[in-house]
C-alpha cells in the first residue's frame, strides 16, 4: 500500500446507515431499509448480523439489490439483530476492505460499526494509533473508532465508546452492534441525521430500528419514534431504549444540504418534512428572483419539489419539460469530466412540445461544477426554447464539505471562482439566480420556528465551518485549498 492510500482520510463518504434490534429476519429488514436509503450511497453496501451466538457479515460493491436479493445470501445472515450501511465514494478506492459495516473481535466480544459522516481529525488520530501499533485494515476514517475502542482502558462497551467519541472530532452518525446492544450516536452538533423507529410485534414485544432517514422506517412498516439528539448515545438492549448524553450541550447545526438535496423528499428530518421544505424554498426563490416566463421546468428529480413551490408562488405553469431516464446512475459519481458530460445526456432528455418557443425557467437544487446546468441549458435551447432562465434552490456552493457530503475540491466549484453573472454566461443561461442564505433560512424557519441564524451547518455556502478542521492542510491540495479561506 502506498503512503497516499494510508493517508487517504479525505471526505469521500455520504452514507446511509441502519440498525435493527429484536426483529425476525433482521438482515432482510435491514436490506429493505438499505433499499430506501440507496440515494445516500450507491458504491457499496453491507450487513452485519448477530444470531445470539455468532456475527455474520456480507459486504459487496454495488447496489443493495445486486448484493441482497439472493435467498442463499440472506440465508447466511440469520438472527434478530443487524446493522447495515450504504457507501457513496466518488474518488479514492472502492475496494471491499473499505465497505462497511466494519467488524472486529474485542476483549468484550464482537462489535460492528456503520458510520455516516466524516471525522476531521482522523488523519492525526490514525498516525498516533499506528505509532501505538494499531494495524489498520482499510483507508476509511471510520476505522479509528474501532482502534480507539480496542485500546480504551474502560471495561464496558458503552464506556469504551464514550472514551473513543471524546477523542474524535467531526460529523458522525454511528450505528454499532455488540453482543448485548444496538447503539446509535450523533455528533455533538447533530450534523448528520439519525432517527429511532419501533415495530410492534404480534406477540406484544417490540422491535427497534435506527436509521439515517424516516423513509427507511416506512418501507419496514415501522413507526417513527424520534430523532436521536445531537451528542446523544442511544443504547437499545433487552431492557429497552436508554439515552446517554456524555457531551456538554451545544447549539445544534444540522446539515442544511440534507433539506436542499441529499435526503429523500418523503423523509421527515428533524421534525420537518423534506418535501414541504423544498417547496417552501422554491416559493421563496420565486419571491426573490422573479422573471417573466411561460413555463417552470424542474431538473429532475432533485429540482422537482422546489420547482413546484416556484410555480405555485409565481403562478407560471409547471411542466415536465425534461424527462429523466431512471436506469442511469447519478452522473455525479462518474470520475472524469468527459464521462460526466456523456452522463448528463444519458440521464436527461428534452420534452420538446413543452419547451418549443417558450420562455423557460429551469429549477435545480444546486450548481456544483456546473456541468449539469450547462448541458441542460444547451439541451433546452436545442429543443426550441425562446429564453432559458436558471433558478437554483440553494445559495452558491462556494466551499467544500468536510462533514460527509461529497463535494469536489474548492477550485472545481463553479461558484468559488465566478460571480453569478459569469456563471450565467458559462452555463449559457439568459439569467441565473440562487436563493439567498437569508431566503433559505426564511423558508426553513417558517411559522413560529426558531429564526436564529445560523442553526444549520451551512459551511458549503458561507465558509463558516462549525467543527474544527483539525487535519486541514496536512496531506493534500483538497484540504489546503480550504485552509486558505477558513
Ligand atoms: P454539477 O454538474 O457538478 O454542477 O452537479 C450539480 C448536480 O449534482 C445538482 O443538480 C445536484 O442535483 C447534484 N448534486 C449536488 N451535490 C451533490 C452531491 N454531493 N452528490 C451527488 N450529487 C450532487
**Is the separation of the CB atoms in 125 and 411 below 8 Å?**
no
- Residue reference for cell 479561506: 485
> Which atom belonging to ligand 1 lies closest to the Cα atom of 340?
2
Whole-number pLDDT of residue 456: 96
Q: Which of 133-147, 196-210, 231-245, 389-403 has the lowest mean pLDDT?
A: 133-147
Do β-strands 81-87 and 44-50 pair in parallel, antiparallel, or remain unpaired? antiparallel
Q: Which residues pair with 200 in a beta bridge?
A: 206
Q: Distance (Å, rounded) from C-alpha 82 to C-alpha 71?
A: 17
Q: Is 368 in the pocket of ligand 1 (CB under 6 A)?
A: yes
- Other C-beta atoms closer than 10 Å to the C-beta of 403 total 26
Q: Is 400 in the pocket of ligand 1 (CB under 6 A)?
A: no
Q: Distance (Å, rounded) from C-alpha 166 to C-alpha 445?
A: 32
Cβ-count burial 36-58 (b if 16+ within 10 Å, e if not): bbbbbbbbbbbbbbbeeeebbbb
Task: Tell me the pLDDT tens digit for each residue of 295-319.
Answer: 999 999 999 999 999 999 999 999 9
> Strand, helix or coil at 473?
coil
The residue among 323, 315, 330, 339 whose CA lies nearest residue 380 is: 323
Residue with CA closest to ligand 1 atom 18: 406
- The question of whether 255 is a catalytic residue gets the answer no
Task: Tell me the pLDDT tens digit for each residue of 70-87.
Answer: 999 999 999 999 999 999
Q: Which of 5-14, 144-153, 256-265 has the lowest mean pLDDT?
A: 5-14
Task: Tell me the pLDDT tens digit for each residue of 230-260.
Answer: 999 999 999 999 999 999 999 999 999 999 9
Q: Is 344 in the pocket of ligand 1 (CB under 6 A)?
A: no
Residue with CA closest to ligand 1 atom 8: 332
pTM > 0.85: yes
Q: Which residues pair with 392 in a beta bridge?
A: 364, 434
Q: Distance (Å, rounded) from C-alpha 127 to C-alpha 138?
A: 14
Let me know the angle formed at the C-alpha of 229 by 163 and 262, rounded to the nearest 5 degrees: 105
Confidence of residue 328 (pLDDT cuts 50, 70, 90): confident
Task: Tell me the pLDDT tens digit for each residue of 430-473.
Answer: 999 999 999 999 999 876 666 677 899 999 999 999 999 998 86
**Is the separation of the CB atoms in 230 and 250 below 8 Å?**
yes
- Other C-beta atoms closer than 10 Å to the C-beta of 470 total 17
The DSSP annotation for 59-106 comes to EEES-HHHHS--HHHHHTS-SSEEEEEEE-BSSS---GGGPSSEEEEE
Query: What's the chain's average pLDDT?
Result: 90
> Which atom belonging to ligand 1 lies closest to the Cα atom of 299?
10
**Is the separation of the CB atoms in 220 and 27 below 8 Å?**
no
Q: Where are the beta strands (DSSP E) in 285-351?
A: 295-298, 322-324, 348-350
**Which domains are delineated in the chain?**
10-250 (3.60.20.10), 273-325+343-461 (3.40.50.2020)
Confidence of residue 2 (pLDDT cuts 50, 70, 90): very low
- Other C-beta atoms closer than 10 Å to the C-beta of 2 total 7
Mutate to test the pocket of ligand 1, among 11, 366, 374, 415 (most ligand atoms within 8 A of CB): 366
Q: Distance (Å, rounded) from C-alpha 315 to C-alpha 439?
A: 19
Amino acid at each position: 500500500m502506498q503512503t497516499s492510500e494510508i493517508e487517504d482520510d479525505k471526505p469521500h463518504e455520504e452514507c446511509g446507515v441502519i440498525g435493527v434490534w429484536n426483529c425476525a429476519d433482521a438482515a432482510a429488514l435491514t436490506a429493505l431499509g438499505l433499499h430506501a436509503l440507496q440515494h445516500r450511497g450507491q458504491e457499496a453496501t453491507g450487513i452485519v448480523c448477530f444470531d445470539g451466538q455468532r456475527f455474520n457479515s456480507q459486504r459487496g460493491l454495488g447496489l443493495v439489490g445486486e448484493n441482497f436479493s439472493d435467498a442463499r445470501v440472506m440465508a447466511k445472515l440469520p438472527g434478530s439483530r443487524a446493522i447495515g450501511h450504504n457507501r457513496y465514494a466518488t474518488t479514492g478506492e472502492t475496494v471491499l476492505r473499505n465497505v462497511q459495516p466494519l467488524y472486529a473481535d474485542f476483549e468484550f466480544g464482537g462489535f460492528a460499526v456503520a458510520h455516516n459522516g466524516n471525522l476531521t481529525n482522523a488523519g492525526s488520530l490514525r498516525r498516533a494509533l499506528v505509532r501505538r501499533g494499531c494495524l489498520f485494515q482499510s483507508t476509511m476514517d471510520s476505522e479509528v473508532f474501532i482502534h480507539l475502542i480496542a485500546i480504551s482502558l474502560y471495561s464496558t462497551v458503552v464506556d469504551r465508546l464514550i472514551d473513543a467519541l471524546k477523542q474524535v472530532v467531526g460529523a458522525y452518525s454511528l450505528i454499532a452492534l455488540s453482543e448485548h446492544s444496538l447503539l446509535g450516536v450523533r455528533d455533538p452538533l447533530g450534523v448528520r441525521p439519525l432517527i429511532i423507529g419501533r415495530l410492534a410485534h404480534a406477540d406484544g414485544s417490540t422491535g427497534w430500528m435506527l436509521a439515517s432517514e424516516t423513509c427507511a422506517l416506512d418501507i419496514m412498516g415501522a413507526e417513527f419514534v424520534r430523532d436521536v439528539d445531537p451528542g446523544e448515545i442511544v443504547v437499545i438492549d433487552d431492557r429497552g431504549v436508554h439515552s446517554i448524553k456524555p457531551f456538554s450541550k451545544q447549539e445544534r447545526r444540522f446539515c442544511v444540504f440534507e433539506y436542499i438535496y441529499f435526503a429523500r423528499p418523503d423523509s421527515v428530518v428533524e421534525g420537518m418534512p423534506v418535501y414541504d421544505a423544498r417547496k417552501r424554498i422554491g416559493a421563496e426563490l420565486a419571491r426573490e428572483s422573479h422573471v417573466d416566463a411561460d413555463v417552470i421546468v424542474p431538473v429532475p428529480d432533485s429540482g422537482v419539489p422546489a420547482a413546484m413551490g416556484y410555480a405555485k408562488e409565481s403562478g407560471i405553469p409547471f411542466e415536465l419539460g425534461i424527462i429523466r431516464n431512471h436506469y442511469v446512475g447519478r452522473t455525479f459519481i462518474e470520475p472524469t469530466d468527459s464521462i460526466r458530460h456523456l452522463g448528463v445526456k444519458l440521464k436527461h432528455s428534452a420534452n420538446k412540445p413543452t419547451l418549443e418557443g417558450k420562455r423557460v425557467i429551469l429549477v435545480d437544487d444546486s450548481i456544483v461544477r456546473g456541468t449539469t446546468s450547462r448541458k441542460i441549458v444547451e439541451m433546452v435551447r436545442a429543443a426550441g426554447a425562446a429564453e432559458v432562465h436558471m433558478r437554483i434552490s440553494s445559495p452558491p456552493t462556494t466551499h467544500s464539505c468536510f462533514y460527509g457530503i461529497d463535494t469536489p475540491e474548492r477550485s472545481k466549484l463553479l461558484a468559488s471562482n465566478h460571480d453569478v453573472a459569469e456563471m450565467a454566461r458559462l452555463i449559457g443561461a439568459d439569467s441565473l439566480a440562487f436563493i439567498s442564505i437569508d431566503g433559505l433560512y426564511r423558508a426553513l424557519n417558517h411559522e413560529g420556528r426558531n429564526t436564529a441564524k445560523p442553526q444549520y451547518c451551512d459551511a458549503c455556502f458561507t465558509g463558516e465551518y462549525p467543527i474544527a478542521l483539525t487535519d486541514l492542510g496536512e496531506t493534500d491540495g483538497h484540504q489546503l485549498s480550504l485552509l486558505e479561506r477558513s
